[in-house]
A and B are shown apart, each in its own frame.
Chain A
Amino acid sequence: MFNIEFLQTQSNIISDFLRWSIEHLGSLYFIIIIGGIFYFLSIKALLINLSNKDYERSLLVVILLIIVFGGLVGFALEFK
């Protein structure tokens, strides 16, 4: 019942959903909702690091945010 094809269908749903959401709801939606989840967690981590005066780790989070956010925006614009 739960064979590999089952998993495959689920995975396609995720990919198709991302593409569909960009095509129908726009890239802004994609960036806010899809990227937003990652961003919410990362910014929360960043704020906690800053409040703990852990500036070193904050820098790392900022770099990761730039890579991921840049990637999301770029892909969103191209999917559009």
Chain B
Amino acid sequence: MRKKSKDSIIIGLALFAMFFGAGNLIFPPAIGFASGSQWPLSMLGFFLTGIGMPLLGILAVTISGGSLKTLTSKVNNKFYMIFGSLVILLIGPMIAIPRTGATAFEMGILPNFNFINSYVSAFLFFGVTLLLTIKPTGIIDRIGKFLTPVLLTMLSIIIIKGIINPIGKPAVSAIETAFSFGFTQGYQTMDLLGAIVFGALITTAVREKGYDQRKDSFHVTAKAALIAAFGLLTIYGGLLYLGATGSNLLIEQTKAQLIIDIVYRILGISGQAILGLGVYAACLTTSVGLTATVGNFFSELTNDQLSYRFIVILTTVISAVASTTGVETIVSFASPILVVIYPMAIVLVVLNVFDNFIAYQSIYKGALLGTFSISLIDGLKVAGIQMPSTLNTFIESLPLFSIGFGWLLPAVIGSIIIVGYSKMTGTVAKSAK
């Protein structure tokens, strides 16, 4: 096999596994379960946003130059520092990494080894994470060659058995708008945020393998991203179908319990071990990918004043403590910030797609400001802060608000206003081409 193809496959498999965290394991069956017989429509909607947007995010980062810094370079350095730090902290040690540890314990360890307590589990889980990330080179290879095969094997056993011997027939769905449901759920996975940070990690890995030229580097990354997307498509599709087959049999319950019940009905008691191993591998690959990203980002931001090793150690320690003590407290504090920055990440990615047609840099600033004005209100609402009823009515009446895209029109208006203002005041800066 040619070196380029081999590298693309390994990087693609690693990317698939890093994306495929525990959340992605429990989300699709819940969508299938709610959609019942309408599952193919939900699946289509979910694919568009749950796979299409992260794929776009990875490629947008790569084409912009391969890092969060280059993705945000058209705004300004302060924005990069604040936005980048928030994204990395939120999907790093504040929410996502501790959650991987907590889920690995609840779904992977506890059902199979109930004598292991959460502290020992966190110590082991984050110990392995540290071991796999302490050396900044070769991380992608370690995930792609060793961890992904374990994850894929476990998931394949569950899905193939569930398709050959379905546990039931999909129930007639009460959801009238199954496509919109899947589309919205895919949007809400917020995997685009993961994509823009993994995009940077992948580009570094591609360059480590000797692809220094922009074209070569993009080709390898694009192939890897398409392999990862194909993997997600197959596994999401399979899991969503399994959820639909359970819709006639099982009662409404938590998402995690739903997948446990479905796997138990498919594989019996042995399913518990297979699912446990699958969940553990899914959580570990995500934890490794995110920890390495946190290390790379902050060592670059501080010009190596804080070393990669120091940040990685600090991240795993904080995540281990948070995973055993108070993930939910941190989540309740951090979720509103996620709601604020997620639409901004989408706007950044889309603008980077059309970057060669954007004449003025202020379009970036205006679009982000317009988006921020709406996402901030959404974030405050999520934080439990009461908004005046007129403001709520206004926000809710924005086009596409019901599917989470209420910020779209303000983004367009914001860029028009800022460009107009900059032209009037003579401060308009043309984009470098």
Identify which of residues 1-54 in chain A touch chain B, using a CB-to-CB cut-off of 8 Å: 4-5, 7-8, 11-12, 14-15, 18, 45, 48-49, 54
B270 proximal to A (CB < 8 A)? no
Minimal beta-carbon separation of B423 from chain A (angstroms): 21
Identify which of residues 29-77 in chain B touch chain A, using a CB-to-CB cut-off of 8 Å: 41, 44-45, 48-49, 52-53, 55-56, 59-60, 63
Minimal beta-carbon separation of A51 from chain B (angstroms): 12
B356 contacts A49, C-beta separation under 8 Å = yes
Q: Bits for B218-235, please: 1 = Cβ < 8 Å to A, else 0.
A: 100010000000000000
| A75→B393 CA distance, assembly (Å) | 23
The interface stretch among B176-184, B236-244, B320-328 is B176-184
Minimal beta-carbon separation of B201 from chain A (angstroms): 19
Q: Enumerate chain B residues within 8 angstroms of A59, measured Cβ to Cβ.
A: 59, 222
B56 contacts A60, C-beta separation under 8 Å = yes
Provided the pairs A74-B45, A78-B177 are in contact, do residues A56 and B356 lie with their beta carbons within 8 angstroms?
Answer: no
Q: Which 9 pairs of residues, A with B, have the shortest CB-CB distance?
A: A74-B179, A67-B52, A11-B397, A60-B353, A78-B177, A70-B48, A8-B394, A14-B399, A56-B218
Q: Choose one: B180, B350, B357, B394; the contact of A74 (CB below 8 Å).
A: B180
What DSSP secondary structure best describes chain B's contact surface?
helix
Q: Bits for B346-367, please: 1 = Cβ < 8 Å to A, else 0.
A: 0000100110110000000000
| A11→B356 CA distance, assembly (Å) | 31
Identify which of residues 57-71 in chain A touch chain B, using a CB-to-CB cut-off of 8 Å: 57, 59-61, 63-64, 66-67, 70-71
B398 proximal to A (CB < 8 A)? yes
Q: Enumerate chain A residues within 8 angstroms of B41, measured Cβ to Cβ.
A: 74
B399 contacts A57, C-beta separation under 8 Å = no
B3 proximal to A (CB < 8 A)? no
Q: In the complex, which residue of chain B has the Cβ closest to the Cβ of A54?
A: B356
Q: Choose one: A5, A11, A60; the contact of B399 (CB below 8 Å).
A: A11
Q: Enumerate chain A residues within 8 angstroms of B114, measured Cβ to Cβ.
A: none
A63 contacts B55, C-beta separation under 8 Å = yes
B391 contacts A75, C-beta separation under 8 Å = no
| A74→B95 CA distance, assembly (Å) | 33
Q: Enumerate chain A residues within 8 angstroms of B354, measured Cβ to Cβ.
A: 45, 61
Provided the pairs A66-B52, A67-B49, A78-B180 are in contact, do residues A14 and B409 lie with their beta carbons within 8 angstroms?
Answer: yes
| A8→B59 CA distance, assembly (Å) | 37
Minimal beta-carbon separation of B203 from chain A (angstroms): 13
The total of chain B residues at the interface (CB under 8 A) is: 35
B2 proximal to A (CB < 8 A)? no
Q: Enumerate chain B residues within 8 angstroms of A7, measured Cβ to Cβ.
A: 394
Minimal beta-carbon separation of A11 from chain B (angstroms): 4
A67 contacts B180, C-beta separation under 8 Å = no
A64 contacts B399, C-beta separation under 8 Å = no
Q: Enumerate chain B residues within 8 angstroms of A4, measured Cβ to Cβ.
A: 390-391, 394
Q: Enumerate chain A residues within 8 angstroms of B357, measured Cβ to Cβ.
A: 45, 48
Selected A-B contacts with CB under 8 Å, 15 pairs = A5-B390, A7-B394, A8-B397, A11-B398, A48-B357, A56-B59, A60-B353, A64-B56, A64-B350, A64-B353, A67-B52, A70-B48, A71-B49, A71-B183, A75-B180
| A8→B393 CA distance, assembly (Å) | 7
B215 proximal to A (CB < 8 A)? yes
| A18→B405 CA distance, assembly (Å) | 15
Minimal beta-carbon separation of B296 from chain A (angstroms): 23
Task: For the A-B complex with A56-B222, A74-B41, A78-B176 known, give 18 more contacts whose Cβ atoms are closer than 8 Å.
Answer: A4-B391, A4-B394, A8-B397, A11-B394, A14-B399, A14-B409, A15-B397, A57-B353, A60-B63, A60-B353, A64-B350, A66-B52, A67-B49, A67-B52, A74-B45, A74-B48, A74-B179, A74-B183
| A78→B44 CA distance, assembly (Å) | 13
Q: In the complex, which residue of chain A has the Cβ closest to the Cβ of B45?
A: A74
A78 contacts B391, C-beta separation under 8 Å = no
| A4→B176 CA distance, assembly (Å) | 33
Q: Enumerate chain A residues within 8 angstroms of B49, measured Cβ to Cβ.
A: 67, 71
Minimal beta-carbon separation of A6 from chain B (angstroms): 10
Minimal beta-carbon separation of A27 from chain B (angstroms): 12
Q: In the complex, which residue of chain A has the Cβ closest to the Cβ of B355?
A: A57
Q: In the complex, which residue of chain A has the Cβ closest to the Cβ of B354?
A: A45
Q: Enumerate chain B residues within 8 angstroms of A11, measured Cβ to Cβ.
A: 394, 397-399, 409
Q: Enumerate chain B residues within 8 angstroms of A15, measured Cβ to Cβ.
A: 397-399
Provided the pairs A63-B52, A64-B350 are in contact, do residues A75 and B394 lie with their beta carbons within 8 angstroms?
Answer: no
